[in-house]
Amino acid sequence: MDEIKDRQELLLEIEQLKLDNARLGQRMDKMRKWNNSLLQKNWQESEDQTLLEFSEQDSETPNPQELLQELRIHQEELRVQNEELLEIRYSLEESRSRYQALFRNSPLPCLVLNESSRILELNHQAANLLAQANPDLHPERMPMSLFLHRYSQENFRRFFDRVLRNSEAQREEWKLRDEQIVVAHGFALAPTEDGRIEGCQVVLENVTLQRQEELQKLQEREYRLLQAQQLARLGDWQWEEGQIFCSPHLFTLLKIHPSTSPTNFFQAYLDRVPENDQENVRGQWQQAIEKGKPFTLSHCYLLPDGDRLQLRVQGSPVQRTGTQRYLGFVQVIESEETKSAH
């Protein structure tokens, strides 16, 4: 938890430094433009005054003290503006130095992409990570897509477009070419004077071990579920838009070939129901699904070797926007072997 918190604080600090740099840069540009306009104004006024003096030789001579006072006022204005510009410049340089130090020394892989998604700059951690992903390439100046798994190419393109269009940080999960999994946090670079975004900074978080642990836990849960289903002689199913997706054990219970497609599963199941009961079973399924209500039914089921099973089938609708979906199970409640045992 402490490591995750440190990473989140680091990402927040990077984003704050980026915003500070952008604000200081914009402020410095405004001050520079204001200073230039003031100098131009002073030059124009001085030039106009000179022309006025030459054109009015017979007029009253200007008071030298007034001219000197006006000049001193302009000089003081320029001095104040110059000091403020220097102060902004020092602040900007200090902020950039802090940013560069954070970028270089960050424990997380960091890189900068241009508007064509080529790598302009990267720290040591990013260089090592990408070298593992594609050992044949030197990362700098290369398109980022060359280091990504083909399944993540489209995700990367959408992520990059979102970063350039939005001022807020964006997040996306990618798989690298060497199967490592990273979470990318993207920040748009500060806009230029004409408002263009020329690229973004990306901070990568390697979550490969975390995803492997999650997969292992999922596999363990699936194994325990399979064991429980075998003991209960039960298998689960999911119905969605005319297709039935089943647990592996349900294929084993019903002796239906595992290669049977979700589209054809219901018909393969119905073909094993005694002929005089098929229409009744089909009708109960269809009626329940049309009304969107839970259902329970029991019927006989014929195995390929001639054995007969008595099944209990249950299903319940699941709320889901846009599509109708059912979850349920099939359980063997009696078989010929069970009857003979009694």
Find, among 314, 244, 306, the residue nearest to 274 by Cα: 306
Distance of CA 92 to the CA centre of its chain: 31
pLDDT of residue 322: 66
Length of the chain, in residues: 342
Structure tokens at 147: 């280091």
Q: Does the pLDDT value for residue 259 go beyond 90?
A: yes
More confident residue, 161 or 73: 161
- Is residue 29 helix, strand or coil? helix
pLDDT of residue 27: 58
pLDDT of residue 7: 60
pLDDT of residue 87: 74
- Diameter over CA atoms, the chain: 136
Compute the distance between CA of residue 49 and CA of residue 41 in angstroms, rounded to an integer: 12
Written as one string, the DSSP assignment of 91-148 is HHHHHHHHHHHHHHH-SS-EEEEETTSBEEEE-HHHHHHHHHH-TTS--TTSBGGGGB
Find, among 85, 321, 122, the residue nearest to 202 by Cα: 122
Give the pLDDT confidence of 114-143 residue by residue, as tens digits. Answer: 989 999 889 999 999 999 999 988 888 899
Q: Does the pLDDT value for residue 60 go beyond 60?
A: no
Give the pLDDT confidence of 75-115 residue by residue, as tens digits. Answer: 777 777 777 777 767 666 666 666 666 677 888 899 999 98
Looking at this protein, which amino acid is placed at residue 19? Answer: L
Write out the H or E segment, with its range, that includes residue 16: helix 2-55
Would the CATH topology of 106-206 be identical to that of 222-341?
yes
Name the CATH topology of 222-341. Beta-Lactamase (3.30.450)
More confident residue, 296 or 14: 296
Q: Is the CA virtual torsion 160, 162, 167, 172 positive or negative?
A: negative
Distance of CA 113 to the CA centre of its chain: 16
Reduced DSSP (H G I as helix, E B as strand, rest coil) percent helix, strand, coil of the chain, to 5: 55, 20, 25
Domain 106-206: give its CATH code. Answer: 3.30.450.20
pLDDT of residue 10: 60
Compute the distance between CA of residue 151 and CA of residue 195 in angstroms, rounded to an integer: 33
Distance of CA 215 to the CA centre of its chain: 20
Averaged pLDDT for residues 35-59: 51
Lowest-pLDDT range, 219-223, 244-248, 278-282?
A: 219-223
- Given a contact cutoff of 8 angstroms between Cβ atoms, the answer to whether 239 and 246 are in contact is no
Give the pLDDT confidence of 303-324 residue by residue, as tens digits. Answer: 998 899 999 999 999 876 667 7
Q: Does the pLDDT value for residue 53 go beyond 60?
A: no
Compute the distance between CA of residue 187 and CA of residue 196 in angstroms, rounded to an integer: 14
Averaged pLDDT for residues 329-342: 68
Question: Tokens 């190419």 label which residue?
Answer: 153
Beta strands 181-188 and 199-206 are antiparallel
More confident residue, 231 or 332: 332
Structure tokens at 92: 């900007």
Share of the chain above pLDDT 90, in %: 37
What confidence tier does 38 reach under pLDDT thresholds 50, 70, 90?
low
Structure tokens at 174: 């990618």
Instruction: Kindly report the pTM of this predicted structure.
Output: 0.55
Q: Does the pLDDT value for residue 51 go beyond 60?
A: no
- Given a contact cutoff of 8 angstroms between Cβ atoms, the answer to whether 282 and 270 are in contact is yes
Domain boundaries, the chain: 1-49+66-105, 106-206, 222-341
- Given a contact cutoff of 8 angstroms between Cβ atoms, the answer to whether 314 and 329 are in contact is yes
Averaged pLDDT for residues 263-276: 92
Mean pLDDT estimate for the chain: 80
pLDDT of residue 58: 44
What confidence tier does 342 reach under pLDDT thresholds 50, 70, 90?
very low
- Given a contact cutoff of 8 angstroms between Cβ atoms, the answer to whether 211 and 181 are in contact is yes
pLDDT of residue 57: 46
